[in-house]
Amino acid sequence: MLKKIVKKILGKNSPERLGYTIDLVTLSQDGFTVTGWYFDDCFCEVAVKSLDTSKSKFTTETLERNDVFAATGKKALGFTLHCFTEKSPADFKLEFVGSTGQKQLFEIASSDKDKVSSVFTNLDASSSSEVKVAFEMTFYDKESLFFSGWILDSGNMDSMFFEDAADKYRIESKDILRYTRADVAEAFGDEAKSTKQPGFTFRIPLNSPLTARGFKKFKLNIEVDGNVNTVSIPKIETLDESPLVSIQRIMNAWKIHNKKHRQLCDSTIQPVVKNIFPVDKTCRSSRVDFGLVTSPKASVIIPLYGRYDFMRYQLSNFSRFGSLKDYEVLYVVDDPKISTAVGKLAKELSVVFSQPFSVITLAENMGFGGANNIGVKHAKSDKLILLNSDVLPKDGTWADKMIAQIDKHDDVGVVGARLLFEDNSIQHDGMAPMVLKEYPELLLNDHPNKGWPVSLSKNPAEVADCPLLTAACIAISKSLFEEVGGFDPAYVLGDFEDSDLCLKVLEAGKRNVICRDVELHHLERQSQNLVAAGDWKHKLTIYNAIIYNQRWSQKLDELFDLGKGTH
Amino acid sequence: MQKVLFLSHGHPELSKGGAEVASWNLFEALKEQGFECMYVARTDGKSHGGSTFSIRAQDQVLFHTGMTDWFNLSSSNIKHLFTDLSELVSSFDPDIIHVHHYAHIGIEVLAALRQAAPNAKVVFTLHEFMAICMHNGQMVKNRTLKLCYKSNENDCHDCYPQHSPADHFLRKQYLLDQFSHVDSFVSPSHFLADRYIEWGLNEDKIHVIENVLPAMPILAPRVLLEGEKRTRFAFFGQINPYKGIDILLEAFLKLPEEVLGIVALDIHGANMDIQTSELKEKVAGLLARLQGVVTMRGAYESHQLSHLLEECDWVIIPSVWWENSPVVIQEAIAHGRPLIGANIGGMKEKIEGIAGLTFDARSSSSLATKIQQAMEPECFDEWVGKLSKKNDHLKTHIEFLNSLFVETY
């Protein structure tokens, strides 16, 4: 299996010679995204350069590509580069920077001509024409096969089918997601003109795992205008690379601005993502205590991901104001990359600051919800405060005030707070559903009055009912949190699980409140902006939104009276 | 007897910054008044046998440590601060801890001192805007060198874009947290105090007390020949881009020819050699056009100061940053020499209406006008007459220290 990949990769214009490979170029509303990888020893940076030498705005994310390493024995870095532009990818070149600073420019689209998996002739009643097809991603996870690539079929494909052991599988064109491919159009010119949407993505559920023979010698039949052609697909990947790599590649083959793509999310995308991020995933955790609080008023759970220096600012703040003197503070390190550094910093901070705290280290990245759920299991108190690491309180009374709401009122479920940006404008004053014109059928979470001066808010600084609250800072009783099942792990990498929790608590017969007399700073990261981003994380947000709407759109409609056209 | 422990970021015999000199002068003065004092100065150098401390005298300890994070002004050398320094401090058992800086040491030193001596009063003297402004504590914009009137996380991000506004916010909150360990702040100027109050320090905790100087002789005015004017000017201090040496030289170039023929300027400035080539070239170009008028006298030791001041009529302080309370102003006043200073910040506060003339900061033509005005003997005599009123800053400082104890007991 590996040998075959090597052979394929080492073909003409091989990455071995070039030092890089472009897996996919996809268009989005605000630009285009290039996904690929390069060898560590050839290059150290990738950028995009406009041919007219104007400055290009782009963002890059990199990840280790263990799959490339497995196939070639050389270390490679995967990249997802998103360029913000109205122009076509053909107006740009990729610039790779070598370790000594030398720069090389490469075409973004041209390599597609070399990626053709198969060419067959379509014998249509009126004429015969050549059909080119390429399979760029073939994922197999025992329950299904997931394909994406492109085909120059003039839009005439009827179905694809194959057999394995006793099972026959077929997918009709109505169940195949199609999309434009600027890179393919560019590479094939006139030949591609009759195919408006060469790109395809589909998933075939399996009755039973593939047989060994079916896996190794996989053949797919493609039916175009009634003619059947057989294509062999030598490279079927199993999803054993890093989940973050898999999810990025899958998201790139899913076009969220296309309504059909959103509608078929549950049959095409969700089952594959569920296997990458299984909902029953657990992981080992270890705990170190730096000081102890006996019989704490509540347990404060703070996940750490990426930036861990926030610990310093928070512990300094808690120590200065004494707000958590009698609370159990649990940091949950949800990022194996930082766990060693967190351990070292924690030791330092425990000497400098009086606030006792504990560090729970997770063996794997569990995501925001998963990390909180594990933190809750460690909580000694029967009351919880869930806090983001980038929240900084303003005084010493916030925690007591929030916990008092749970203590005083049996019917209160989730307690939230008024959160402010660093310039003291509103970051969160309670959430509400909203609709964006790009996704008219989806209810998303809005933060009304975001960025406003507090003085313009019509909400007085007092406790009020509020159904939806951000989990950046909430209080809830541990028993209620566990009764409703905690944060739902179906939401991938942290979106909507807070409003989902709030709605579950309402369903359990409680009411949620916001303490607008409690103000904390929340230094929300700009990357979470829902509208501007065009990359895979934004797609993941829409993925999570679809799950959220499957569950709650009706309930939200009742709660917020949306049927009457509020939005 | 009250025991006072001083902490400075440098020993004045090794590094002559304003904070080092001011803390040293106070250390010497308090010793003379009968306080039992210990001076702990941070140093770069390696110590014997890897120990955290070495000494220069029985009451002068060198603290071998360093800062690890210049953004947060923070140190990861936890053992140095929370074990080594802590043991030394509790052994000395001070009543007052007089901290003059955290630079090169780490802002966490305040927490360490508080833990080491829970009953001592921690006094912190503000010397510049380092906690407020990342730009060497100058409150002058990075790159453009424009004056900055107020710190704000978005404006600070403009100066230092590698740190997000949120990070600038966190830095500030962190420093304010650490300053909460301080019982009283001393600011040598109202200007500096006001900036720190606006930034977030508690007004009630700040005391404006001028730096203490050693006793200095009042010098008689230079004897003039018949018809001679007050034409001898001098500059004292470090040379760097914030000190306005270029503006000073440009002002002399703007003097009318007949005036230029009779004036003289002595520049007693250290560190010209370590400046950027840009500043050096500019100064060299100006000096070339002022041959016979300006003399570069180089660095001086404090014991030479009286003698050097005796040679001049006026001292000029043309800084382009705000300054706090420059020692040179107090020294000139103590010796009976009036000043011409820029009309901003600490210079305006210490000179205007008290010790001489001020000019529009950063304007060489305004300075040229004031130089001509100052040459008139009547103007000089008027300001020298006002200088003779003496303030006893040491007495004020000791009263302040005693008031800390009144609150305690």
pLDDT over 70, % of chain A: 91
- Interchain CB distance below 8 Å, B154 and A317: no
List all residues of chain A from 323 to 362 with a beta carbon under 8 Å from chain B: 347-348, 351-353
Judge contact between A376 and A481, C-beta under 8 A: yes
Tell me which of A310, A313, A350, A427 to substitute to probe the interface with B (most B C-beta atoms closer than 10 Å): A313
Element (H, E) at B184: strand B184-187
Q: What share of chain A is helix, strand, coil (3-state, %, to 5)?
A: 30, 35, 35
A242 and B CB contact within 8 Å = no
Superfamily classification of domain A285-530: Spore Coat Polysaccharide Biosynthesis Protein SpsA; Chain A (3.90.550.10)
pLDDT of B306: 94
Position A425 pLDDT exceeds 70: yes
pLDDT of B123: 98
Is the same domain home to B182 and B313? no
CATH code for the domain of B154: 3.40.50.2000
Exposed / middle / buried, residue A464 (Cβ in 10 Å: 0-12, 13-18, 19+): middle
Is the same domain home to B130 and B253? no
Is the same domain home to B53 and B190? yes
Q: Which of A100-109, A395-404, A416-425, B82-91 is predicted with the least confidence, judged by mean pLDDT? A: A100-109
Give how many domains chain B has, as a whole number. Answer: 2
Residue B161 covered by a domain: yes
C-alpha span between A84 and A33 (Å, rounded): 9
Residue B216 covered by a domain: no
B86 and A CB contact within 8 Å = no
Q: What is the pLDDT of residues A502-539, one digit of tens each?
A: 999 999 999 999 999 999 999 987 434 433 344 788 89
- Interchain CB distance below 8 Å, B165 and A351: no
What contacts B348, CB < 8 A, 6 or more positions away?
A: B191, B341, B342, B358
Q: What is the pLDDT of residues B217-231, one digit of tens each?
A: 899 999 999 999 999
- Interchain CB distance below 8 Å, B78 and A348: yes
What contacts A177, CB < 8 A, 6 or more positions away?
A: A200, A201, A202, A254, A255, A258, A260, A261, A264, A268
Report helix, strand or coil for B340. strand
- Interchain CB distance below 8 Å, B74 and A312: yes
List all residues of chain A from 366 to 395 with a beta carbon under 8 Å from chain B: 390, 392
C-alpha span between B152 and B159 (Å, rounded): 11
Residue B197 covered by a domain: yes
When pLDDT is averaged across residues A59-73 and rounded to a whole number, the result is 77
Position A450 pLDDT exceeds 80: yes
Element (H, E) at B28: helix B18-32
Exposed / middle / buried, residue B216 (Cβ in 10 Å: 0-12, 13-18, 19+): middle
Q: Shortest Cα distance from A523 to chain B (angstroms)?
A: 6
- Interchain CB distance below 8 Å, B173 and A353: no
pLDDT of A136: 87
Neighbours of A170 (CB within 10 A): 14
Position A213 pLDDT exceeds 60: yes
Q: Tell me how far CA of residue A194 lies from CA of A158, A188, A198, B376, in angstroms.
A: 16, 11, 9, 93
Residues spanned by the domain of B198: 3-210+393-408
Contacts of A394 in chain B (CB under 8 A): none
A130 and B CB contact within 8 Å = no
- Interchain CB distance below 8 Å, A316 and B177: yes
Return the closest-CA partner of residue B86 out of B24, B23, B14, B5: B5
C-alpha span between B221 and B233 (Å, rounded): 13
Contacts of A424 in chain B (CB under 8 A): none
Kindly calculate the radius of gyration of chain A based on its CA atoms and give it in whole angstroms. 26
* A420, β-bridge pairs: A426, A521
- Mapping DSSP onto H, E and C, the string for A241-258 reads CCHHHHHHHHHHCCCCCC
Neighbours of A9 (CB within 10 A): 15
Is the same domain home to B149 and B238? no
B304 and A CB contact within 8 Å = no
Distance of alpha carbon A288 from the chain centroid: 30
Contacts of A521 in chain B (CB under 8 A): 169
pLDDT of A8: 43
- Long-range CB contacts (< 8 A, 24+ apart) of A68-75? A68/A37, A70/A2, A71/A2, A71/A5, A71/A6, A71/A9, A72/A6, A72/A9, A72/A15, A72/A16, A72/A39, A74/A39, A74/A40, A74/A41, A75/A39, A75/A40, A75/A41
- Interchain CB distance below 8 Å, A523 and B173: no
- Interchain CB distance below 8 Å, B82 and A353: no
- What average pLDDT is seen over chain A? 88
Q: Nearest chain A residue to B181 by CA: give it.
A: A320
pLDDT of A113: 65
C-alpha span between A242 and A69 (Å, rounded): 12
Is the same domain home to B253 and B291? yes
Position B351 pLDDT exceeds 70: yes
Amino acid present at B257: E
Residue B326 covered by a domain: yes
Is the same domain home to B264 and B282? yes
C-alpha span between B77 and B105 (Å, rounded): 9
* A93, β-bridge pairs: A49, A107
Q: What is the pLDDT of residues A452-477, one digit of tens each?
A: 999 999 999 999 999 999 999 999 99
pLDDT of A90: 77
More confident residue, A28 or A131: A131
Is the same domain home to B292 and B311? yes
C-alpha span between A197 and A201 (Å, rounded): 11
Tell me which of A320, A354, A425, A522 to substitute to probe the interface with B (most B C-beta atoms closer than 10 Å): A320
Q: Nearest chain A residue to B167 by CA: give it.
A: A523
C-alpha span between A485 and A466 (Å, rounded): 21
Q: What is the pLDDT of residues A222-277, one digit of tens each?
A: 999 888 888 888 778 887 677 877 888 898 889 999 999 999 999 999 999 999 88
C-alpha span between A231 and A220 (Å, rounded): 5
Is the same domain home to B269 and B155? no
Amino acid present at A197: Q
Terminal Cα distance for chain A, rounded: 54
CA angle A313, A318, A319 (to 5 degrees): 100
Query: Can you name the CATH fold of A2-108?
Result: Immunoglobulin-like (2.60.40)
Distance of alpha carbon A74 from the chain centroid: 27
Is the same domain home to B193 and B253? no
Is the same domain home to B156 and B278? no
pLDDT of A331: 98
pLDDT of A567: 42
Position B113 pLDDT exceeds 60: yes
B76 and A CB contact within 8 Å = yes
Tell me which of A290, A309, A310, A316 to substitute to probe the interface with B (most B C-beta atoms closer than 10 Å): A316
What does DSSP assign to residue B218? P
- Interchain CB distance below 8 Å, A348 and B76: yes
Q: What is the pLDDT of residues A306-323, one digit of tens each?
A: 899 999 999 999 999 999
- Mapping DSSP onto H, E and C, the string for A219-286 reads EEEEEECCEEEEEECCCCEECCCCHHHHHHHHHHCCCCCCHHHHHCHHHHHHHHHHHHCCCCCCCCEE
Position A566 pLDDT exceeds 50: no
Contacts of A353 in chain B (CB under 8 A): 111
C-alpha span between A120 and A114 (Å, rounded): 16
Binned at pLDDT 50, 70 and 90, residue A11 comes out as very low
Residue B296 covered by a domain: yes
Judge contact between B45 and B11, C-beta under 8 A: no
- Interchain CB distance below 8 Å, A422 and B166: yes
Neighbours of A278 (CB within 10 A): 11
Q: Shortest Cα distance from A395 to chain B (angstroms)?
A: 11
C-alpha span between A370 and A377 (Å, rounded): 11
Residue B283 covered by a domain: yes
- Domain locations in chain A as residue ranges: 2-108, 118-276, 285-530
Q: Nearest chain B residue to A392 by CA: give it.
A: B170
Neighbours of A389 (CB within 10 A): 21
Structure tokens at B9: 């970021």
B153 and A CB contact within 8 Å = yes
Q: How many CA atoms lie within 13 A of B118 on its CB side?
A: 1
Residue B226 covered by a domain: no
- Interchain CB distance below 8 Å, B169 and A351: no
More confident residue, A166 or B168: B168
Residue B274 covered by a domain: yes
What contacts B62, CB < 8 A, 6 or more positions away?
A: B11, B40, B41, B42, B43, B45, B47, B53, B54, B55, B56
Return the closest-CA partner of residue A165 out of A206, A205, A137: A206
Q: What is the pLDDT of residues B306-335, one digit of tens each?
A: 999 999 999 999 999 999 999 999 999 999
When pLDDT is averaged across residues A5-13 and rounded to a whole number, the result is 43
B165 and A CB contact within 8 Å = yes
Return the closest-CA partner of residue A316 out of A344, A341, A348, A284: A348
What does DSSP assign to residue B83? I
